Amino acid sequence: MNDDLAASFRRWGEQLMPELPLYGRISAAVAEDAEVRDLLLAAPPEQRLPVLLLAVVHHLLLGGADHRLARWYPTVAGGADAAGPAGPADSADAVGVDAAGAAGAAYADFRDFVLSRRTEVTELVATRSTQTNEIGRCSVLRPAWGLIAEEVRTPLALVELGTSAGLNLLLDRWAYAYSPDGPRYGEPSRDVLVEAESRGAPLPALGPVDLGTRIGIDLRPISVADEQAARWLLACVWPEQPTRFARLQAAIEVARTDPPRLVSGDIVEQLPMVAADVPADQHLAVQNSWVLNYLPAYERQRLVSLLDELGSARDLSWVSIESPDFVPDLHFPPRPDGAGDGDASVAVLSTWRGGRKSVRRLADCHPHGTWLHWW
């Protein structure tokens, strides 16, 4: 088992370098350090992931743990003003360690931190699970629902599967800017700006999206009013991406003023009851992003069958952003240019109109929505 963990940390470290050098080098060092690796054995088998241990450490530092490790974390030490090596972000919004000596010092601090707080770390590892509420994916969701809004001309009842804190249900409250010369959505003065590189076909210039209902379903939804829960959500963001971290902080503050309705439970079990509550004069709109990979294949097929059943009874639209590598059993329409899927996430729009289903590949995108190739 420890050999599996070593391989997992090694792979993770290779994937993160050079974009995230701090986490990349820490992960590579943990791969060779059995005493630190073993801390992750306190987690359930399905949660024994490098990101969990990294998030636990980040969570404790954000909570005010007094240790020299904090100097390496821009989200804790203050980025460019930090006394340690956390300096200005580069073009990839990643800051951290460059020199081998600094990398060794950073890991020495990391090791001392987790081993000196072994009880606290193992308790969190045993009881927490990684949670992300990546609002960057709204760069794809916003134009997708803009297209549907223009078509149906009625308010949308937006239902999100695997909603976390429900932040992506607030997609109409963000401002959007697409480079190099793409459209802008929303008022520029809004507190949250979602930026993305637009590739492929030009994005449509769209009007506002009218959301009549917002409901999120999650096994363990996060209340943004809960300071500890909100801090855990922030801890799951990589500290070498301070812009992404600050954007999530701002989104949490917006959500606290008027949070969406969140339903606790299994998404497949709860969806029929949630859908039944949607007013007849609203268009049922279902979305998910990087959620279905956490379901077993038979549950994914149950979900597809359920959506087919709902779509036979009322008009329905479903936007799903998932990775073909992780959910190969789902149907992904081929790329219009004939190329393979690669490692991108894929946004698929399925619509049911008068009981008739159609499926379209809308876009390929970065898992966090930093770029999208619109088809």
Per-residue pLDDT of the chain (375 residues; tens, 9 = 90+): 577 999 999 999 998 888 899 999 999 999 999 999 999 999 999 889 999 999 999 999 999 999 999 999 999 986 433 334 443 333 334 444 445 567 789 999 999 999 999 999 999 999 998 888 999 999 999 999 999 999 999 999 999 999 999 999 999 999 999 999 888 888 877 899 999 999 999 998 778 899 999 999 999 899 999 999 999 999 999 999 999 999 999 999 999 999 999 999 999 999 999 999 999 999 999 999 999 998 999 999 999 999 999 999 999 999 999 999 999 999 899 999 999 988 899 999 999 999 999 999 999 999 999 999 999
Confidence (pLDDT) at 252? 97
Element (H, E) at 56: helix 50-62
List the structure tokens of 159.
């239902």
18 preceded by a cis bond (ω within 30 of 0): yes
Q: CB of 349 within 8 A of CB of 141?
A: no
**Residue 110 host element (H or E):** helix 100-116
Helix (H, G, I), strand (E, B) or coil at 18: coil
Residue ranges per structural domain of the chain: 2-127, 135-223+259-374
- Strands 193-200 and 371-374 turn out to be parallel
Q: What is the pLDDT of residue 80?
A: 37
Return the DSSP state at 79: G
Helix (H, G, I), strand (E, B) or coil at 124: helix
pLDDT value of position 101: 65
- Residue 321, SS3? strand
Give the whole-angstrom CA distance, residue 270 versus residue 263: 8
Cα separation of 130 and 51, whole Å? 7
What dotted CATH number matches 135-223+259-374? 3.40.50
Q: What pLDDT score was predicted for residue 99?
A: 52
Q: What is the pTM of this model?
A: 0.88
